[in-house]
């Protein structure tokens, strides 16, 4: 994913509701001061997305007051909205951002954010207008319960419009569960594509090659249990379909 997309969405999701309320009394530019140093300023074409825009309230709507939470932001192809040249600024007045009421599920609240390209004078009728949806899924339970985590992964997958869309996982507790959620998502996709996966081998390989991705033993146990649960459920449904039971 383009660095600037990640920074823009991360900055919005990391803000709390209190910060948003306080921003109405503060200069708008001060809210994202900490973000400016994260990305290369030459590439920060979204630096003029300010807190008063519709991007921010929706993305922070479920910034929990607790110390921990897990959010998944599904970004389709927002890069289509970026200027072709890095020297050109992101003209946010050319786009209309619409929000929808949250949709409830057992594991998450879903917040859709639709971005429409406005009609500009001089734009021919043959030019298709961009229309994209960015979705925030706010997990209701941050505990590492395998059944809940697997259900959340399936919910995220159901909101994913295409394989080209990207998913950004964010956690309030220092992002120490993002690696787990990301690895789970990749391996679940692989499990579906290959129809087979040696769960112990996959988990062991990750621990041996990239141990820093998943920082704790409990998370490795969760990864193992989630993949095992998904693998067993697929086998059960497959056996039923084959008439083996």
Please identify every stretch of the chain with a pLDDT value under 50, giving residue numbers as ranges.
1-67, 78, 174, 236-245
Question: HEC states along 71-122?
Answer: EEEEECCHHHHCCCCCCCCCCHHHEEEEECCCEECCCEEEEEEEEEECCCCC
- Between the CA of residue 209 and those of 85, 201, 204, 205, 206, what are the distances in Å? 38, 12, 9, 6, 5
Q: How far apart are CA 41 and CA 39, in angstroms?
A: 6
Q: Are 174 and 139 in contact (CB under 8 A)?
A: no
Query: How much is the pLDDT for 164?
Result: 65
CA triple 115-117-85, angle to 5 deg: 100
Report the DSSP pairing between strands 103-104 and 70-75. unpaired
Q: How far apart are CA 129 and CA 81, in angstroms?
A: 11
In the chain the first and final C-alpha atoms are separated, in Å, by 44
Query: How much is the pLDDT for 180?
Result: 82
Q: How far apart are CA 72 and CA 49, in angstroms?
A: 21
pTM of the model: 0.57
Query: How much is the pLDDT for 121?
Result: 63
Whether the CA torsion 43, 95, 33, 175 is positive or negative: it is: negative
Classify 105 in phi/psi space as left (phi over 0), alpha (psi -120 to 50) or beta.
beta
Query: How much is the pLDDT for 173?
Result: 53
Query: How much is the pLDDT for 128?
Result: 60
Q: Position of tokens 């043959």? A: 126
Query: How much is the pLDDT for 200?
Result: 76
Per-domain residue ranges of the chain: 3-172, 176-245
* DSSP conformation class of 43: G
């Amino acid at each position: 994913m383009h660095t600037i997309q990640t920074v823009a969405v991360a900055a919005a999701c990391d803000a709390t509701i209190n910060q948003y309320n306080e921003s109405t009394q503060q200069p708008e530019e001060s809210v994202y001061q900490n973000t400016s140093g994260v990305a290369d300023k030459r590439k920060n074409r979204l630096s003029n997305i300010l807190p008063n825009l519709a991007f921010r309230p929706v993305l922070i709507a479920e910034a929990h007051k607790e110390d921990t939470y897990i959010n998944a932001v599904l970004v389709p192809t927002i890069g289509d909205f970026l200027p072709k040249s890095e020297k050109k600024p992101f003209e946010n007045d050319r786009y209309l951002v619409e929000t929808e009421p949250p949709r409830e599920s057992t594991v998450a609240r879903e917040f859709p954010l639709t971005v429409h390209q406005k009609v500009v004078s001089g734009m021919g009728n043959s030019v298709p207008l961009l229309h994209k949806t960015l979705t925030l899924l706010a997990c209701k339970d941050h505990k590492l319960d395998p059944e809940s985590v697997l259900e959340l992964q399936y919910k995220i997958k159901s909101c994913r419009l295409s394989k080209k869309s990207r998913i950004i996982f964010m956690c309030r507790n220092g992002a120490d569960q993002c690696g787990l959620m990301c690895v789970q998502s990749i391996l679940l996709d692989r499990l579906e594509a290959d129809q087979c996966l040696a769960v112990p081998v996959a988990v062991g390989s990750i621990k041996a090659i990239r141990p820093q991705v998943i920082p704790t033993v409990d998370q490795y146990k969760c990864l193992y249990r989630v993949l095992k649960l998904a693998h067993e459920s697929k086998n059960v449904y497959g056996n039923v379909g084959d008439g083996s039971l």
